[in-house]
A and B are shown apart, each in its own frame.
Chain A
Amino acid sequence: MDQAIIIEKGIFILVIFAITMLFAMYETLAERKIAAWLQDRIGPNRAGPGGILQPLADGLKLFSKEEFFPDTQNKFLFIVGPAISMTTALMTSAVIPWGDHLEIFGRNVVLQATDIDIAMLYVFGVLSVGVYGIMIGGWASNNKFSLMGAMRASSQMISYEVAMGLAIIALVMMTQSLSLREIADGQHGWRWNVLYQPVGFLIFLVCSFAETNRTPFDLAECEAELIGGYHTEYSSMKMGFYLFAEYASMFISSTILAVLYFGAYNYPGMDWVKEAAGVNVASILGIAVLFIKICFFIFFYMWVRWTIPRFRYDQLMKLGWKMLIPLAIANIIITGVVILIFDN
């Protein structure tokens, strides 16, 4: 019995890892294509039909570049920086509920790698450790500009984590549980959390832009202000890892947004499908619906990137501390009042 579970979870984790990697790879192509279409031009279309093999070409290009080490004693830290970024970007996918259960060969396969009670805390913890990747990379580069970029990035990330946590508190008050599986199950059919917590969703959305260092919060890596920011001195695959980690964390942020606020694998009419076509088909449809929501959020990230100019540093800090935190606290108070009223 134990062996079967180990094999089942092992295969599941491998599949999740492969899907994350695939998504992150094709996000690089999607970024360039969507950026092009929004600017009245077509993106890369030479590598393979319609440019499908472009990520492969990019990967090969990065592998073939020169391995460069700057003049620093911290060679170990220089290598460890991108490794931490990549690891924390991938670790979060372990607790996400990808779908309802499947029934294969009489076994009840739960579509989640681990279902821990405090999944939300785990996600936030891993997110916070992700800041270290950027800080270590900027410090180990032995370069003023990288250090400044890393400082700005890390201060931005920790400021917006506070507002993110406060927005989540209101959600947890409503759903009475920190486990992602229970939050997802509580959004059956049409009752998605975004309808009950619109302000919380807005705050969480803005904070997730800041956490993944996406425009308009991409001060840390913008070329015009800081040459390259924390990844100036990086070349070849270490640079590839930083970029890849950013896209992987974008994928994970989209997933968390979809799971927390947009009803994970729930869609209107799921009960009818379950009775008409069986549990497996309903679950597979749920997984497809979740991926559609993830793709929409990824498109939204890129749509915003090419629309809005970036924040100045003091505007960014002011937004995080003086506007989002009071708004999140007000959200908690109002949610508490409404819960009290409805319980009586």
Chain B
Amino acid sequence: MSIQNISLSGRKTEVSNKKMTFAESLYLVAIAKGLMITIRHLFTRKVTIKYPEETRELSPVYRGQHMLMRDDEGRERCTACGLCALSCPAEAITMKAEERKPEEKHLYREEKYASIYEINMLRCIFCGLCEEACPKQAIYLTKSRVMVKSDTNREDFIYGKEKLVMPLDMAIRNTQMQTAN
């Protein structure tokens, strides 16, 4: 096994240094072969995805828009501890905490909840560190499966709680599916 025979990728080709024959130097055969290769591509399937009529398949761990989760009884999980804002490398999350009133016991899990929770989608880099940092499993990027839509206004990109919290009917459906099993 000399150094000349080793090929790590298995795609080694020997290059010849011979001068071209007269017929080869006309390049006519080479041009014809090239034209045949190109014309074959005319009849292959095209790889374009015609957005927005078609969308591409997202993988199961695709990190899209954030979703603030609810538990089995429909109560919001987030306790406004601020760990997600601390861990965010782009400083995209801001929040304001408030105390839970006695009549709101069915809305929030613990006594502290986030009254204002805003994520600036222009700053967010969708890294998922907030999802990893949350101690209450309250924020997930892999559950909503939507991409953040484009817009023309800078202010419209600051998403508040009404855009980020899991919809109530989705929480009810999850609970029903779990109790059915």
**A residues apposed to B, CB below 8 Å:** 36-42, 45, 303-304, 306-308
A303-B35 in contact (CB<8A): yes
- Residue-wise interface mask of B (41-79) relative to A, using a CB-CB cutoff of 8 A (1 in contact, 0 not): 110111110100000000000000000000000000000
Task: Name the A residues within 8 Å of B44 (CB-CB).
Answer: 40
Given contacts A303-B35, A307-B35, contact A38 B47 (CB under 8 A): no
A307 CA to B45 CA, complexed, in Å: 19
Interface size class of B (residues with CB under 8 A): 10 to 19
Task: Name the A residues within 8 Å of B37 (CB-CB).
Answer: 307
A40 CA to B48 CA, complexed, in Å: 8
Q: Which of B2-50 contact A (CB under 8 A)?
A: 31, 34-35, 37-39, 41-42, 44-48, 50
B46-A307 in contact (CB<8A): no
B42-A41 in contact (CB<8A): no
A37-B35 in contact (CB<8A): no
Question: A60 → chain B, closest Cβ, in Å?
Answer: 22
* 4 A-B pairs closest in CB distance: A307-B38, A307-B34, A41-B48, A42-B48
A308 CA to B34 CA, complexed, in Å: 8
A308 CA to B36 CA, complexed, in Å: 12
Question: B47 → chain A, closest Cβ, in Å?
Answer: 5
**B residues apposed to A, CB below 8 Å:** 31, 34-35, 37-39, 41-42, 44-48, 50
Choose among A38, A45, A308 the residue that contacts B42 (Cβ–Cβ < 8 A).
A38
A308-B31 in contact (CB<8A): yes
A95 CA to B69 CA, complexed, in Å: 77
Question: B41 → chain A, closest Cβ, in Å?
Answer: 5
Task: Name the B residues within 8 Å of A37 (CB-CB).
Answer: 41-42, 46
Task: Name the B residues within 8 Å of A42 (CB-CB).
Answer: 46, 48, 50
B39-A40 in contact (CB<8A): no
Task: Name the B residues within 8 Å of A39 (CB-CB).
Answer: 41
A148 CA to B38 CA, complexed, in Å: 32
A40-B38 in contact (CB<8A): no
A40-B46 in contact (CB<8A): yes
Show 18 residue pairs from A and B whose CB-CB distance is below 8 angstroms, ordered by the A residue.
A36-B46, A37-B41, A38-B39, A38-B42, A39-B41, A40-B41, A40-B45, A41-B46, A41-B47, A42-B48, A45-B50, A303-B35, A303-B39, A304-B35, A306-B38, A307-B35, A307-B37, A308-B34
Choose among A36, A41, A45, A303 the residue that contacts B38 (Cβ–Cβ < 8 A).
A303
A40 CA to B49 CA, complexed, in Å: 12
A36 CA to B38 CA, complexed, in Å: 11
Q: Determine the residue in chain A with the shortest Cβ distance to B36.
A: A307
A40, A41, A304, most chain B CB atoms within 10 A: A40
Choose among A40, A304, A307 the residue that contacts B47 (Cβ–Cβ < 8 A).
A40
A306 CA to B37 CA, complexed, in Å: 11
Question: B46 → chain A, closest Cβ, in Å?
Answer: 5
A308 CA to B47 CA, complexed, in Å: 23
A108 CA to B35 CA, complexed, in Å: 44
Q: Determine the residue in chain B with the shortest Cβ distance to A202.
A: B28
A206 CA to B57 CA, complexed, in Å: 47
A64 CA to B34 CA, complexed, in Å: 40
Task: Name the A residues within 8 Å of B42 (CB-CB).
Answer: 37-38
A307 CA to B36 CA, complexed, in Å: 9
Q: Determine the residue in chain A with the shortest Cβ distance to B26.
A: A323
A38-B41 in contact (CB<8A): yes
Besides A40-B41, A303-B38, A308-B34, 8 other CB < 8 A contacts?
Answer: A38-B38, A38-B39, A41-B46, A41-B47, A42-B48, A42-B50, A303-B35, A303-B39
A42 CA to B44 CA, complexed, in Å: 11
Question: A341 → chain B, closest Cβ, in Å?
Answer: 27
